[in-house]
Amino acid sequence: MEQTGAAGDSILNVRSRKRISQLNGDYLIKFKDLRKTDITPIMKHRNRFHKECCERQVVLWRKERNMKVRDINKTQECFKQNYFRLQSDKQKIQQEKQKDDIVITEKEQFDDSKKKEKDKHLDIIRMMKLLMKQDNENTESKPEEVVEKVVKIDRRNEIPLIHFM
């Protein structure tokens, strides 16, 4: 049944292939597996590969494919978990930064209010010193009058009182 020669090789255009038989116009071709040193009979029929233990081979291929699919799914799940973990960590860090910023702004506001209070106190002290100088120049006035003047100034500006006595 085997036909060899230029006609068979020219039809298939492959030197290592041989036409085994012709069944209703379908060709079964035996060719050399170039990956191995030995010539292995792999049967090709309508672009399908058949070996001696076809069913077992198909079962093995399906198992291998399922294993590959499982591995791919596991890696995808791992990537998703890592991605979500990273995103949650980023969100936590951003929230902590925002909290820190809020705390810092509150501290700055508190510091600003303290500075304003200190400035007010310094203004009061300056006013007291000026009044004391004026009173020292004018010997007629008493220290009680100076305190009354400071209290009047404080009530106008709503500044906390500092008593020097």
Under-70 pLDDT residues of the chain: 1-55, 103-112, 135-165
Q: Write out the residue range of the structural domain in which residue 96 sits.
A: 62-157
Distance of CA 25 to the CA centre of its chain: 61
* DSSP label at residue 71: H
Looking at the domain assignment, is residue 163 inside a domain? no
Looking at the domain assignment, is residue 162 inside a domain? no
Q: Are residues 43 and 66 in the same domain?
A: no
Q: Are residues 31 and 101 in the same domain?
A: no
pLDDT tens digit sequence for 4-46: 444 444 454 444 444 444 444 444 444 444 444 444 455 454 4
Q: Are residues 30 and 83 in the same domain?
A: no
Are the C-beta atoms of 102 and 128 separated by less than 8 Å?
no
Domain count, the chain: 2
